[in-house]
A and B are shown apart, each in its own frame.
Chain A
């Protein structure tokens, strides 16, 4: 039996071709993995009548770890998000999103290395919405004490374990005194247990402005769900876009690693999209599994290919296909 059994969720659109490229790179590390392929997303809806079949749920519940390609969430009406369903079902309460400057992508800043810890299960994502009259819609923003404490504890632990120095709670507690006030109070309570870490808070609108003006000042951010969703994408944009933005959704007993970009259906089958976001999510997954050397080998391979600039995908200014980019990373890994 393989050392690791991982549920692979290729998703739809460009997801399957991205995931094949990612699998080729991860397999090249030699880490002993059995991949269990399962369906998820809109294609799956057509075939099985659901975005998230029971078989997929069982595989994740058994393996407690999965890597996921992009899926599409219908806007306004239609089906629920498969991503949100998974996060809620497996209580993956911590969304971890690193945003680190990639040298080859020319950006106007010298340093960006931000870790976002987004609470992943509460806030206005509790899906409690009502038309309370025919012209008034209401969405409940649910913030709980235990939910706020555990994301703060997760963030402090992760930050400390990874040599981070500073952690800030992002909120709007000056206006939403109950909900964001509770989130901030929980953060401050947890912060008392980590006197060695510099901790503080910042109002979300000011944080947005500061991120754009001077992102190098930020280290770790802890955010409620909605602010985390928006600002972690902003951070991804600062370093080069969603094509390079990995993510992890982590609970106490299960973790799902995924890119945060969409499925880009117009490019499906063209093998031109950048697989870096899913690949770097795979790097996070390998580290989570304790396969640190393999993870670092891939990271170095990616860095080398990006630095050489000969095999870049279109979004990074090159013409390489998804597979050519992945193969270049594999060759680079062999030279390390």
Chain B
């Protein structure tokens, strides 16, 4: 007798090789745009607030900021989950964060958006 699972009949997307290439960290602060140290193999690429890039580059002085920043860190070398764990541990000593999202490439395509 064969067994089935609830998901056996679902549509499947063709698989692609998955590569961990960075992390988005959502930081909560009342002190304005956060500043970061170097964290091992992760380097800050941009910081956005409500989806608008606030670092680096031009920021309108009129831009309304809330106390929640999306901070994009790119890996500077091949990294593993262990590197992410260490990175988040270090970052958490200085910054309060609400969530961390790993960034993966699927084949040659980035599985994450850039900030406006």
Chain A residues near B113 (CB, 8 Å)?
127-130
Chain A residues near B13 (CB, 8 Å)?
134-135
- Closest B residue, CB atoms, query A64: B62
Q: Which of A90, A125, A144 contacts B60 (CB 8 A)?
A: A90
Q: How far is the CA of A147 from the CA of B52 in the complex (A)?
A: 13
Chain A residues near B24 (CB, 8 Å)?
128, 130
Contact call A57/B111, Cβ cutoff below 8 A: no
Contact call B106/A85, Cβ cutoff below 8 A: no
Shortest CB distance A185–B (Å): 16
Q: How far is the CA of A129 from the CA of B111 in the complex (A)?
A: 8
The interface centre, meaning the residue of B18, B58, B66, B113 with most chain A CB atoms within 10 A of its CB, is: B113
Contact call A150/B52, Cβ cutoff below 8 A: no
Flag whether A131 is at the interface (Cβ < 8 A): yes
Flag whether A336 is at the interface (Cβ < 8 A): no
Chain B residues near A93 (CB, 8 Å)?
64
Q: How far is the CA of A222 from the CA of B64 in the complex (A)?
A: 19
Q: Which of B79-116 contact A (CB under 8 A)?
A: 101, 103-104, 106, 111-116
Q: Which of B16, B50, B60, B63 contacts A142 (CB 8 A)?
A: B50
Q: How far is the CA of A90 from the CA of B60 in the complex (A)?
A: 6
Q: How far is the CA of A131 from the CA of B51 in the complex (A)?
A: 17
Q: Which of B15, B63, B66, B70 contacts A134 (CB 8 A)?
A: B15
Chain A residues near B77 (CB, 8 Å)?
none
Contact call B16/A122, Cβ cutoff below 8 A: no
- Closest B residue, CB atoms, query A57: B58
Q: How far is the CA of A253 from the CA of B114 in the complex (A)?
A: 26
Contact with A along B57-81 (1 / 0, CB 8 A): 0101011101000100000000000
Q: How far is the CA of A129 from the CA of B24 in the complex (A)?
A: 11
Contact call A130/B103, Cβ cutoff below 8 A: yes
Contact with B along A63-83 (1 / 0, CB 8 A): 000000000000000001000
Q: How far is the CA of A122 from the CA of B62 in the complex (A)?
A: 16
Flag whether A209 is at the interface (Cβ < 8 A): no
Chain B residues near A129 (CB, 8 Å)?
112-113
Q: How far is the CA of A93 from the CA of B63 in the complex (A)?
A: 10
- Closest B residue, CB atoms, query A139: B113
Flag whether B35 is at the interface (Cβ < 8 A): no
Contact call A131/B112, Cβ cutoff below 8 A: yes
- Closest B residue, CB atoms, query A125: B51
Asked whether A80 and B114 contact (CB < 8 A) given A89-B52, A131-B104, A134-B16, the answer is: yes
Contact call B116/A88, Cβ cutoff below 8 A: yes
Q: How far is the CA of A90 from the CA of B63 in the complex (A)?
A: 7
- Closest A residue, CB atoms, query B17: A134
Q: How far is the CA of A91 from the CA of B64 in the complex (A)?
A: 7
Contact call A91/B106, Cβ cutoff below 8 A: no
Shortest CB distance B66–A (Å): 5
Contact with B along A83-98 (1 / 0, CB 8 A): 0110011110100000
Shortest CB distance B46–A (Å): 12
Shortest CB distance A254–B (Å): 7
Chain A residues near B64 (CB, 8 Å)?
91, 93, 146-147, 150
Contact call B106/A84, Cβ cutoff below 8 A: no
Chain B residues near A122 (CB, 8 Å)?
50-51
Flag whether A132 is at the interface (Cβ < 8 A): yes
Flag whether A211 is at the interface (Cβ < 8 A): no
Asked whether A89 and B111 contact (CB < 8 A) given A127-B51, A130-B103, A147-B66, the answer is: no
25 contacts between A and B (CB under 8 A): A80-B116, A88-B51, A88-B52, A88-B116, A89-B52, A89-B60, A89-B116, A90-B60, A91-B60, A91-B63, A121-B51, A125-B51, A126-B50, A127-B113, A129-B112, A130-B24, A131-B104, A131-B106, A134-B106, A134-B111, A142-B50, A144-B50, A146-B64, A147-B50, A254-B62
Known: A130-B111, A146-B64. 6 other contacts (CB 8 A): A126-B50, A127-B113, A129-B112, A131-B111, A132-B101, A134-B111
Closest 7 CB pairs of A and B: A126-B51, A131-B111, A88-B52, A129-B113, A88-B116, A91-B63, A127-B51
